[in-house]
Amino acid sequence: MLEIKNLHAQVGDKAILKGVNLTIRDGEIHALMGTNGAGKSTLSNVIVGNPSYEVTEGSIIFNGQDLLSMSPEERAHAGVFMSFQAPIEIPGVSMTNFMRAAVNARREAMGKEPLKSTDFLKIMREKRKLVEIDQKLMNRSVNEGFSGGERKRNEIFQMAMLEPTFCILDETDSGLDVDALRIVAEGFNKLRTTETSAIVITHYQRLLDYIRPDFVHVLIDGHIVKTGTAELAQKIEEKGFDWIKEELA
Amino acid sequence: MKSEQQYIELYHEASSVIKERSCPVMNVVRDEAFEAFRQVGFPSKKVERYKYTDVDAAFAPNYGISLSPLTVKPSAYIYNMKDAPIDVTPYYHQVADCSDAITALNTALVHDALLVYVPKNTRVADLIVVDNWLRGTAATMMNRRILVVMEQGSEATLIINDHAADKQRFLVTQVMEVYCHDNARLDLYEIEETTPLCSRFSNVYIREGRDCSVKHNSITLFNGQTRNLCDVYLQGENSEVTLNGCAIGSGHQRIDNNTLIRHEVPNCQSNELYKYVVDDQSVGAFAGKILVEKDAQKTVSQETNANLCASPDGRMYTQPMLEIYADDVKCAHGSTVGVMDETALFYMRQRGIPEAEARTLLKNAFMGQVIDQIKNESLRQRLYVKVEKRFRGELDKCEDCRLCK
């Protein structure tokens, strides 16, 4: 599904990613762990095409397409979705209008007719239930006045609406209490199909108890330095990253 | 030759015809107004209140003056000045100020005028709508005069629409005088939807007595060059005024709004919110002064001007001003000029919303705040649609105007 080769990226003049290689097949969940500033968020932003990040070398192939030559919206239409670490507020744009624009843009890219208003609202209602998000939030502006937990739930709700095939969950667990974490993680699991793949970025084992990773990667200083199974995450939870750094030295 | 010369000559040639077609109340101040214009001439950019608009250049082309009679469709509360049901002498050209060249020129050249008169304690439930259609087969100058008299305890909503029916160069001067007697309420909307060939110079003067409430909404949806002045005189206690503005520029359009709110007595309130979106090479200017006189204690005033430069070449000039001579007042003013929120844009694009659409949504959201404040539900909904169409580039003709279909 996704093949990243020798990826180098920078923000301004600062090199962050220094040759990342990663292959993700259909249906796989890859956890990405690492110290602060190691490049986890840079990697996810590069995958979704954030213009603030510059790719200097390497390639990303997504289902046979050269992802780096595509605009952020084209990538979204191809099925790439990111749950943002800090979802922003968009004052004056209602959730409903925002979602309608997003859903219909994707449908248009797929050569489908825009959804009828009644059908759209019906789908909104169904998907809202998945993440237990209140209808009154839908009448507000995007994320405006949402609590931290509501914002994260809203990200998964958007994922439900857009039905992506590849998701990046960028610290979706941060700022969530235990119950909210369960709702968000279970929501994600319900939405998954056998084809859905994901990169799950987290600092904690807890999220991975709900969303079981097939692989765990450790990113340090712009390189993936270690890859293992779910047990690696547990070991990091217990011992931190120092032992990995020592191994490298 | 400076531009005023041709208007001086025009007056010498046409004043007798103008007087013939006009009425005594308008003629009695005419020569004096012309003399004032002749002396002051068009303001240069060195004149503070005209520093963002080149008046001389706008009046330089050779326009033919329109002297065709004003047609007023018979309807309640709207009259041709000639058929005024009241004595308008205490109102006509009383608050309008001839030290302003545009007002002086308008007063000298205008032959017909519109009167909106709402009698004492009359509450007008329906909207009073005035549609101005600019028509002409050659470059035409129109001079428009509107007098609004709201008697004590009256209430009305007045909408003035500007349309250009012909793809022609038009130069419009407008002077509107609004008199609100005690306890009167007026919602006044001016909606400009013309073409890039139109230049508009509008001066609005509002005088309020006690316990009045006036909301003036200046909405520039589509235009060529616009210069709006709005001066408000708060002369009775416990009155309030709201000045709202929505200005959308693209192409090479210019929109210059200049306001003055003069608090002359205690316990009045003023609110001002002007928002601009300047796209392409368009230029916006806003200068708003709140003047609180020595005795105007307990004044509460808030002035806000927020602007979005939606393109690298869009220009915005902003000048919020407070001048306070009283010592027990609550006044605030603020101004912002910003660019498109790139983080929000990216968030929307990540969800698959194409960049152009995302930009439209953000511009629309920015302007929505002004439209939200429109009290009349049907007008508010209509303007949401118009503003959105404008940002989508679909508002290149005045869609409501029967003449344009």
The pLDDT tens digits of the residues spanning A190-208 come to 999 889 999 999 988 889 9
Mean pLDDT throughout A120-146?
A: 91
Question: In which band, very low, low, confident or very high, does the pLDDT at B68 lie, cut at 50, 70 and 90?
Answer: confident
| Cβ(B279)–Cβ(B255) below 8 Å | no
List, for residues A96-129, the tens digit of each pLDDT value: 999 999 999 999 999 999 999 999 999 999 999 8
Q: Of B361, B265, B264, B273, whose CA–CA distance to B310 is shortest?
A: B361
A4-13: per-residue pLDDT in tens?
999 999 999 9
Residue B121's pLDDT is 97
| Residue B236 CB neighbours (<10 A) | 20
CB contact (8 A) between residue A141 and residue B365? yes
Q: What residue type is B264 in one-letter code?
A: E
**B352/A77 CB distance under 8 A:** yes
Max avg pLDDT among B62-71, B142-151, B393-402: B142-151
Q: Say whether pLDDT at B1 is over 80.
A: no
Given a cut of 70, is residue B399 above it in pLDDT? no
Inform me whether the pLDDT recorded for A54 exceeds 90. Answer: yes
Mean pLDDT of A173-193: 89
Residue A79: closest C-alpha in chain B: B352
Statement: residue B299 has pLDDT above 70: yes
Contact between A92 and B365 using a beta-carbon 8 Å cutoff: yes
Q: Mind listing the pLDDT tens digit for each residue in B169-216?
A: 999 999 999 999 999 999 999 999 999 999 999 999 999 999 999 999
Q: How many CB atoms lie within 10 A of CB B272?
A: 24
Q: Which residues of chain A make contact with B306, given a CB cutoff of 8 A?
A: none
What does the pLDDT read at residue B76?
85
Asked if the Cβ–Cβ distance from B351 to A48 is below 8 Å, we say no
- Residue A131: what pLDDT? 84
The pLDDT, as a whole number, for residue B311 is 94
The answer, yes or no, to whether residue B402 has pLDDT greater than 50, is no
**Degrees, nearest 5: CA angle B24-B26-B28:** 65
Cα separation, B29 vs B176, whole angstroms: 16
Task: Please calculate the CA angle A56-A60-A66 and round it to the nearest 5 degrees.
Answer: 105
B71 shares contact with chain A (CB less than 8 Å):
no
Cα–Cα distances in angstroms (integers) from residue A117 to residues A97, A101, A121, A124, B33, in the given order: 11, 12, 6, 10, 59
Chain A residues in contact with B347 by the CB 8 A cut-off are 84, 87-88, 90, 142
Which residues in chain B are contacts of A49 at CB distance < 8 A?
A: 349-350
Tell me what pLDDT residue B32 has: 96
Interchain contact B368–A (C-beta under 8 A): yes
Q: Which residues of A touch B344 (CB under 8 A)?
A: 88, 90
DSSP B69-96: PPP---BTTEEEGGG-SS--TTTTTTSS
pLDDT at B344: 96
Q: What is the pLDDT of residue B405?
A: 42
Per-residue pLDDT reduced to its tens digit, B219-233: 999 999 999 999 999
| B371 in A contact zone (CB under 8 Å) | no
- The bridge status of strand A223-228 relative to strand A215-220 is antiparallel
Higher pLDDT, B281 or B1: B281
What pLDDT, on a 0 to 100 scale, did the predictor assign at position B2? 81
pTM: 0.90
pLDDT for B401? 47
Find the radius of gyration of the CA atoms of chain B: 21
- Residue A93: which of B350, B365, B369 has the nearest Cβ? B365
Of A82, A91, A101, which has the smallest distance from its Cβ to B353's Cβ? A101
pLDDT of residue B66: 87
Residue ranges of the domains in chain B?
Answer: 4-341
- CB atoms near residue B227 (< 10 Å): 24
pLDDT value at position B301? 98
pLDDT at B397 over 80: no
Query: What is the C-alpha separation between B252 and B250, in angstroms, rounded?
Result: 6
How confident is the model over B94-105, as pLDDT tens digits? 999 999 999 999
Strands B114-118 and B78-80 turn out to be antiparallel
Chain A CB within 8 Å of residue B353 CB: yes
Record: contact B344-A76, CB cut-off 8 A? no
Summarised one tens digit per residue, pLDDT across range B83-96 is: 999 999 999 999 99
Q: What separation in angstroms does the CA of A152 have from each of A110, A146, A169, B88, B210?
A: 27, 9, 10, 64, 52
- Inter-chain touch A88–B353, beta carbons under 8 Å: no
Interface A–B counts its CB contacts (< 8 A) at 75
Cβ–Cβ gap B351/A162 under 8 Å: yes
pLDDT tier at A130 (50, 70, 90 boundaries)?
confident
The predicted pLDDT at position B92 comes to 97
> Is B46 in CB contact (< 8 Å) with chain A?
no
pLDDT surpasses 90 at A249: no
Q: Do B361 and A109 touch (CB under 8 A)?
A: no
B257-290 per-position pLDDT tens digit: 999 999 999 999 999 999 999 999 999 999 999 9
CATH number at residue A169: 3.40.50.300
Say which residues have a Cβ less than 8 Å from residue A116's Cβ, sequence separation at least 6.
none
**What percent of chain B has pLDDT above 90?**
89
pLDDT at B396: 59
Give CA–CA dist B226/B294, Å, rounded. Answer: 34
Give the confidence band of B404 by pLDDT, cuts at 50, 70, 90: very low
Looking at chain B, which residue has its C-alpha nearest residue A82? Answer: B350
- Chain B contacts of A53, Cβ < 8 Å? none
B317 with B309: CB under 8 angstroms? no
Report the residue from A90, A97, A102 with minimal CB separation from B352: A102
For A80, the closest chain B residue by CA position comes to B350
DSSP state of B303: E
CA atoms within 13 A on the CB side of B141: 20
Residue B394, class by beta-carbon neighbours within 10 Å (0-12 exposed, 13-18 middle, 19+ buried)? exposed
B317-321: average pLDDT? 96
Whether B363 and B277 have beta carbons less than 8 Å apart is answered as yes
Give the residue from A186, A131, A137 showing the smallest Cα distance to A161: A131
As given in the structure block, the two tokens for residue A205 are 């084992």
CB atoms within 10 A of CB B60: 15
Identify the domain containing residue A133 by its residue range: 2-248
The total number of structural domains that make up chain A: 1
